[in-house]
């Protein structure tokens, strides 16, 4: 019985199905795997097989064993530095882009994003040969007379990881900053000018505050991507650049200790989720204030 | 000329197909092996010589071999290749049958170190032979002949402060514990007690301070070598790695350390469910012929048990890889070593 104004039954069924599917996809492919992961973190391993009895042993070990927390903390500091450097470099670049007119702006933006199309591993290989002792960077510095002899300053250590991650992730910082700068209404800038503000004043009191949401999301993007990376530290970190991602990786590879690896991943996930929440909070607050 | 060749080839292919189908009707020998251990031309020669057809299945990991053999309780294959570290668990699970070495004429001609199989750790149990070694490689030391003088004879050179920051080591706790144990003079590097573990750990922390980086793949080591000042490489990939480096013009040489080099060794074994034991023995004997063994080394770069290769000189001491006492513990301690500032 479908009277006027009510949705026909068949159509209602259809829309129910679509809604169910829309919810099922993220549940099946995101939430369920995450839940399984969380479950694993309470198991343990004995003689190479996983024991399915619940315990907090893995978490206890993470907090009490002297090696994990310091590495965890160092990794967070490293990734915060990567985020900070990325922002410092990306902001002027994005600002410069917004000053360009017409198609130049987007052509240049595309050029900056081209590295994202390349394989991650190939980029790391390339950067590693640039940073090497006989690499381009050292050769250039020696050639220019800045250094007497090749320096080991950026070879297989924390500096190398910092440089490599910054290079790899900077496009992720440019994009959100550029978008937030582009969204600033030109009338505000003109009004500021009309009212007698200098260029610097306009930047500090209008442009910068209005672009902070973009900066916040750029920072959280870069931080999250950097902290989840194990390949870059593995390949350029050498002996002193030991990061949390490398410990995690070894739990799933050579150690075959999935439960402990899962517990370490949960610790990492907590930090990542916190970073995303912080980024989103700042991003939205300022955004809606316009 | 060309036409004649073409006809001949077509005829050969036709004959091959004919043989395959006719052989498939009889009970074929079922071989399970790594790629490179049962090349099509050898299989063809073997069938031509013995009249036994062969079905080869290739595998990609130790776990896969175990899954395939254990899954059918040995009934699905007659002969398969497995390394010394793995073989004991097959013997324990009663999945392999003892081999009558007197049936293998070519086994008498192998290199001296493989002649007495009771002296090859891992291939015998209770006096019975279960595995016939045929392919191996050592994990030795690659050194730059321009930078390292005199030529090193022991892995202890990796700790030499003269080469600080010029050493490439391999990122694997299990192997690193084993070779360091050998360097420290321990008898059984695969079964270390608490005290020995602690000593090896301390020694590895020292090694770390001399190392430029820990690599994982041969390519990676090569790239690091090209862009940095590297003098010594702990060569997990043995001969393949040396040859690749020499190909790009590096002045490098290879040495097995005098305290003993870790080495892997693959063996042919006969499964419990073998249908025709005589055919399986013929296959193993055929693989031990000078021709096939020589070609195996030429094609793969690994050492064989019949002809001399670069993998090991006649007097080199080789220590066949075995299962370690506690892989998880070694891996955890390796992380601790890497996290030590």
pLDDT tens readout for residues A182-231: 999 989 999 998 999 888 999 999 999 999 999 999 999 999 999 999 99
Residue A150 structure tokens:
């090749």
pLDDT at A131: 87
Output the six-digit token pair for A34.
Answer: 């995450």
What's the average model confidence in pLDDT over A257-280? 92
Beta bridge partner(s), residue A216: none
CB atoms within 10 A of CB B237: 21
Task: Determine, yes or no, domain membership for A1.
Answer: no
**A78: helix, coil or strand?**
helix
Give tens-digit pLDDT for A224-258: 999 999 999 988 988 888 899 999 988 886 677 88
A48/B328 Cβ within 8 A: yes
Chain-chain contact of B339 with A48 (C-beta, under 8 angstroms): no
Q: What is the pLDDT, as a whole number, of residue B340?
A: 87
Residue B331: closest CA among chain A residues belongs to which residue?
A255
Q: Which residues on chain A are in Cβ contact (under 8 Å) with B341?
A: 240
Residue for token pair 């097959």: B90
Mean pLDDT value of segment A93-116 = 90
8 Å CB contact of A239 and B223: no
* Count of domains observed in chain A: 1
Interface pTM, i.e. ipTM: 0.77
Average pLDDT, chain A: 88
B163 CA to chain A: closest CA distance, Å?
A: 14
User: What pLDDT score does B24 carry?
Assistant: 47
Residue A16 forms part of a structural domain: no
Q: Residue B22: its pLDDT value, please?
A: 46
Calpha distance B236→B139 (Å, rounded):
5
Question: What is the domain partition of chain B in residue ranges?
Answer: 2-134+264-308, 141-255
The CATH H-level superfamily of B141-255 is Periplasmic binding protein-like II (3.40.190.10)
Interface probe for B, chosen from A240, A255, A256, A261 (most Cβ of B below 10 Å), is A255
Question: How far away is chain B from the Cα of A38, in angstroms, using its nearest Cα?
Answer: 22
What was the pLDDT predicted at B2? 54
State the smallest CA–CA distance between residue B221 and chain A in angstroms: 10
- pLDDT for A6 beyond 80: no
Residues A67, B227: C-beta atoms closer than 8 Å: no
Using CB atoms within 10 Å of the CB of residue A157, give its burial: 0 to 12 exposed, 13 to 18 middle, 19+ buried. middle
The domain spanning residue A158 has which CATH number? 1.10.3720.10
pLDDT of A289: 44
Best of B201, B207, B213 to mutate (most A CBs within 10 Å, chain A) = B213
- Which residue in chain A is spatially nearest to B173 when comparing CA positions? A254
What local confidence, expressed as pLDDT, does residue A1 receive?
A: 45
Q: Please indicate, yes or no, if residue A13 is contained in any of the structural domains.
A: no
Specify the pLDDT at position B15.
55
- The CA-atom distances, in angstroms, between A18 and each of A5, A13, A21, A22 are 21, 9, 5, 6
pLDDT digits (tens, 9 = 90+) for A153-172: 888 889 999 999 999 999 99
In this predicted structure, the answer to whether residue A277 has a pLDDT above a threshold of 70 is yes
Strand ranges, E, within chain A: 44-46, 49-51
pLDDT at A130 over 80: yes
Q: A239 to chain B: which residues are within 8 Å by CB?
A: 208-209, 211-214, 338
pLDDT at A129: 86
CB B275 within 8 A of CB B79: no
One fold for both B2-134+264-308 and B141-255? yes
Question: Between chain A and chain B, how many beta carbons pairs sit less than 8 Å apart?
Answer: 73
Residues of A with CB under 8 A from a CB of B: 45, 48, 67, 70-71, 125, 128-129, 132-135, 152, 155-156, 234-235, 237-240, 242, 246-247, 250, 254-257
The pLDDT, as a whole number, for residue B23 is 44
pLDDT at B13: 60
- Cα–Cα distances in Å, from A52 out to A41, A44, A248, B189? 10, 7, 20, 33
Residues of B with CB under 8 A from a CB of A: 165, 171-174, 208-209, 211-214, 216, 220, 223-224, 226-229, 327-328, 331-332, 334-336, 338-339, 341
pLDDT: is A81 or B20 the higher one?
A81
Residue B130: CB partners within 8 Å, gap ≥ 6? B87, B90, B91, B96, B97, B98, B99, B123, B124, B269
A277 in any annotated domain: yes
In a domain, A163, yes or no: yes
Residue keyed to tokens 């899962």: A262
- Cβ burial of B326 (10 Å; 0-12, 13-18, 19+) is middle
What tokens were used for B194? 């608490």
Q: Are B245 and B168 in contact, with CB atoms under 8 Å apart? A: no
- The answer as to whether A24 is a domain residue is no
Superfamily for the B2-134+264-308 domain = Periplasmic binding protein-like II (3.40.190.10)
Q: By residue range, what is the domain housing residue A104? A: 54-289
Mean pLDDT of A23-35: 91
Identify which of B211, B213, B336 has the shortest CB distance to residue A67. Answer: B336
pLDDT in tens, A134-143: 888 888 888 8
Instruction: Give the gap in angstroms from C-alpha A73 to the nearest C-alpha of chain B.
Output: 12
Series of mean pLDDT values for 10-residue runs along chain B (341 residues): 58 55 65 93 95 92 86 92 91 94 93 91 91 95 95 96 95 94 95 96 96 90 91 94 92 95 95 94 96 93 91 89 89 91 80
Mean pLDDT over A18-41 rounds to 91
- Distance (Å, whole) CA B168 – CA B231: 8
Residue A22 belongs to some domain of the structure: no
Set of chain B residues whose Cβ sits within 8 Å of the Cβ of A152: 165
Q: How would residue A285 be classed by pLDDT, with cut points 50, 70 and 90?
A: low
Q: Is A156 helix (H, G, I), strand (E, B) or coil?
A: coil
B284 burial type by CB count under 10 A (0-12 exposed, 13-18 middle, 19+ buried):
buried
Q: Measuring CA to CA, which residue among B204, B241, B205 is closest to residue B225?
A: B241
What residues of chain B lie within 8 A of the CB of A133, using their CB? 227-229
Per-residue model confidence (pLDDT) at position A134? 84
Q: Is the pLDDT of residue A288 over 50?
A: no
Could you give the CA distance from residue B336 to residue B339 in angstroms, rounded to a whole number? 5
Q: Which residues of B touch A128 (CB under 8 A)?
A: 223-224, 227
**How far away is chain B from the Cα of A203, in angstroms, using its nearest Cα?**
44
Cβ within 8 Å of residue A289, ≥6 positions away: none
Q: Which two tokens stand for residue B207?
A: 């090694």
Sequence-distant (6+) residues with CB within 8 A of A149 are A142
């Amino acid at each position: 019985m479908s009277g006027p104004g009510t949705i026909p039954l068949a159509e209602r069924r259809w829309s129910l199905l679509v809604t169910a599917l829309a919810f099922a996809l993220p549940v099946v492919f995101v939430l369920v795997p995450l839940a399984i992961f969380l479950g694993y973190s309470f198991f343990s391993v004995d003689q190479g097989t996983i024991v399915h009895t619940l315990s907090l042993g893995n978490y206890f070990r993470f907090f009490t064993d002297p090696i994990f927390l310091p590495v965890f903390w160092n990794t967070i500091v490293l990734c915060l530095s990567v985020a900070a450097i990325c922002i410092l470099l990306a902001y002027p670049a994005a600002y410069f882009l917004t000053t360009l007119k017409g198609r130049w702006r987007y052509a240049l933006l595309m050029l900056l994003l081209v590295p994202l199309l390349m394989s991650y591993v190939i980029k790391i290989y390339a950067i590693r040969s640039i940073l090497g002792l006989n690499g381009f960077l050292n050769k250039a510095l020696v050639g220019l007379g800045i250094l007497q002899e090749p320096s080991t300053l950026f070879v297989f250590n924390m500096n190398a990881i910092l440089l490599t991650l910054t290079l790899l992730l900077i496009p992720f910082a440019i994009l959100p900053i550029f978008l937030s700068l582009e969204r600033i209404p030109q009338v505000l800038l003109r009004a500021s000018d009309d009212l007698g503000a200098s260029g610097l004043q306009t930047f500090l009191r209008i442009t910068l505050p209005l672009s902070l949401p973009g900066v916040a999301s750029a920072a959280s993007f870069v931080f999250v991507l950097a902290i989840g990376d194990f390949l870059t530290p593995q390949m350029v970190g050498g002996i002193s650049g030991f990061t949390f991602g490398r410990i995690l990786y070894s739990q799933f590879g050579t150690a075959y200790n999935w439960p402990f690896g899962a517990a370490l991943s949960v610790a990492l996930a907590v930090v990542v989720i916190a970073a995303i929440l912080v980024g989103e909070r700042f991003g939205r607050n300022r955004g809606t204030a316009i | 000329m060309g036409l004649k060749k073409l006809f001949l080839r077509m005829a050969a292919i036709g004959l091959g197909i004919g043989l395959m189908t006719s052989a498939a009707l009889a009970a074929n020998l079922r071989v399970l092996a790594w790629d490179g251990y049962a090349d099509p031309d050898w299989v063809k020669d073997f069938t031509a010589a013995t009249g036994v057809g062969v079905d080869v299945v290739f595998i990609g990991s130790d776990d896969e071999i175990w899954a395939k053999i254990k899954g059918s309780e040995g009934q699905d294959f007659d002969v398969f290749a497995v390394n010394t570290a793995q073989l004991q668990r097959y013997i324990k699970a009663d999945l392999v049958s003892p081999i009558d070495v007197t049936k293998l004429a070519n086994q008498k001609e192998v290199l001296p170190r493989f002649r007495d199989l009771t002296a090859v750790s891992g291939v015998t149990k209770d006096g019975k032979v279960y595995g016939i070694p045929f392919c191996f490689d050592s994990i030795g030391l690659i050194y730059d002949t321009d930078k390292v003088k005199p030529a090193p004879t022991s892995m202890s050179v990796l700790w030499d402060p003269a080469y600080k920051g010029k050493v490439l080591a391999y990122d694997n706790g299990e192997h690193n514990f084993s070779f360091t144990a050998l360097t420290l003079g321990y008898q059984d590097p695969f079964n270390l007690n608490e005290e020995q573990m602690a000593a090896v750990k301390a020694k590895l922390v020292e090694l770390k301070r001399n190392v430029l980086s820990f690599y994982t793949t041969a390519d990676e080591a090569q790239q690091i070598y090209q862009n940095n000042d590297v003098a010594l490489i702990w060569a997990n990939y043995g001969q393949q790695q040396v040859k690749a480096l020499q190909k790009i013009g590096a002045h490098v040489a290879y040495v097995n350390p005098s305290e003993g080099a870790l080495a892997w060794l693959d063996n042919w074994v006969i499964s419990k469910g073998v249908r025709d034991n005589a055919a399986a023995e013929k296959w193993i004997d055929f693989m031990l012929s000078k021709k096939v063994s020589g070609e195996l080394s030429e094609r793969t770069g690994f050492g064989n048990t019949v002809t001399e290769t670069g993998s090991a000189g006649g007097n080199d001491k080789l220590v066949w890889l075995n299962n370690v006492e506690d892989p998880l513990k070694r891996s955890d301690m390796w992380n601790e070593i890497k996290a030590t500032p």
